[in-house]
Copies of this chain bind each other. A is one copy, B any other.
């Protein structure tokens, strides 16, 4: 693939400065670019690191001439331009076209003519795989599951039966979609049911075994969803677990049974969402956040890393901490905790002073 600066600028719908005929073979961070590489200066701070005589992607108010560049692409939002630029140079996972001879495909599966399926893949009965979908090596897909067009399923992903993935969905290696829910019941009321009512008080403890509630629901994943490496999404009990269009899920995230996640959310690494919780649209949960079962997190909520949400969260809230508080309340609370040694000293001093006043008062 040979690209010139002019090709790239056109692909990014961006303004060009300098010599548009220079050939670009790759991208590098500012200060790291070798011959043929375009340097990325996504913020003014990075522009200072650019070597003169090179090519760069710059914010539109930068001055490529003053920086001594040979050519530049000027964009209003460099981070957005990086999306297009990196797409141009991504070689992808290298799944060869066609169906590999070693793949085992049930005769009742419907595979689009231009789909690609890698070595040792196993495709179950009545599976439907859309146009241009790419299925990596060692992937398994259970019966009656549907994979949308242009989907990309990386090596070793596990997609169970009765799952539906939309168009352009990306599933990374090791992700498991459609595992059984974690749902068990005891013959009589369990300790967990009891303390939910009493907030911690327990009566007699009885030894009981757990009986399994089977998961009959499937999983429905909307268009343009991405699911990270080794993430797990359990199937629903009776209805489907659902992830809305455009939501991005990072590595090692866990979605329990019956969870409903809205559209355009970001769930960062190791987030866990317990069974039957509902997450609105455009919600962003930082790494290692947790959401309790059966609660609701409203649209546009943003939670910082490691926030643990135990109760319903109103739309638009910005949350932090465990238990989750509004971000400013949490920051103030932490400050108040750090100031406690002084408060203890002040109260001790006050007690001393008041004691003296009382003694004096007694003597008066």
A135 interface residue, CB < 8 Å from B?
no
Residue from the list B155, B213, B226, B344 in contact with A86, Cβ < 8 A: B213
**Least CB distance, A286 to chain B, in whole angstroms:** 8
* B-contacting residues, A341-364, CB 8 Å: 341, 343-344, 346-347, 350-351, 353-354, 357-358, 360-361
Residue from the list B170, B210, B288 in contact with A266, Cβ < 8 A: B210
**Least CB distance, A166 to chain B, in whole angstroms:** 14
Interface readout for A150-174 with B: 1 if CB under 8 Å, 0 if not?
0000111010110000000010111
Interface readout for A89-132 with B: 1 if CB under 8 Å, 0 if not?
11101100000001010000000000000111010110000000
Given the known inter-chain contacts A282-B207, A306-B290, A327-B199, please indicate yes or no for A230 contacting B174, CB distance below 8 A: yes
> Which residues of chain B are near A358, meaning CB under 8 Å?
353, 357
**Least CB distance, A290 to chain B, in whole angstroms:** 5
**Least CB distance, A30 to chain B, in whole angstroms:** 10
Q: Tell me, in angstroms, the Cα distance from A229 to B235 when the chains sit together.
A: 12
* B-contacting residues, A180-205, CB 8 Å: 180, 182, 184-188, 191-192, 195, 199-200, 202, 205
B-contacting 9-mer, from A47-55, A62-70, A137-145: A137-145
A297 interface residue, CB < 8 Å from B?
no
Please tell me if the beta carbons of A94 and B213 are within 8 angstroms of each other in the complex.
Answer: no
> Which residues of chain B are near A336, meaning CB under 8 Å?
337, 340-341, 344
Please tell me if the beta carbons of A176 and B229 are within 8 angstroms of each other in the complex.
Answer: yes
Interface readout for A291-335 with B: 1 if CB under 8 Å, 0 if not?
010000000101011101010000010101111011111011110
Q: Which 10 A-B pairs have the closest CB atoms?
A: A200-B327, A86-B214, A179-B229, A158-B173, A90-B214, A176-B229, A336-B340, A232-B251, A182-B250, A140-B155
List 14 additional contacts besides A91-B161, A94-B125; criterion CB under 8 Å: A29-B239, A32-B238, A80-B187, A93-B160, A142-B155, A156-B158, A158-B174, A174-B232, A209-B264, A229-B232, A230-B232, A337-B340, A347-B347, A354-B357
Task: Give A contacts to B, CB under 8 Å.
Answer: 26-29, 32, 40, 77, 79-80, 82-83, 86-87, 89-91, 93-94, 102, 104, 118-120, 122, 124-125, 136-138, 140, 142-143, 154-156, 158, 160-161, 170, 172-174, 176, 179-180, 182, 184-188, 191-192, 195, 199-200, 202, 205, 207-216, 224, 226, 228-230, 232, 234, 237-239, 246, 248, 250-252, 254, 256, 264, 266, 268-270, 272, 274, 281-282, 284, 286-288, 290, 292, 300, 302, 304-306, 308, 310, 316, 318, 320-323, 325-329, 331-334, 336-341, 343-344, 346-347, 350-351, 353-354, 357-358, 360-361
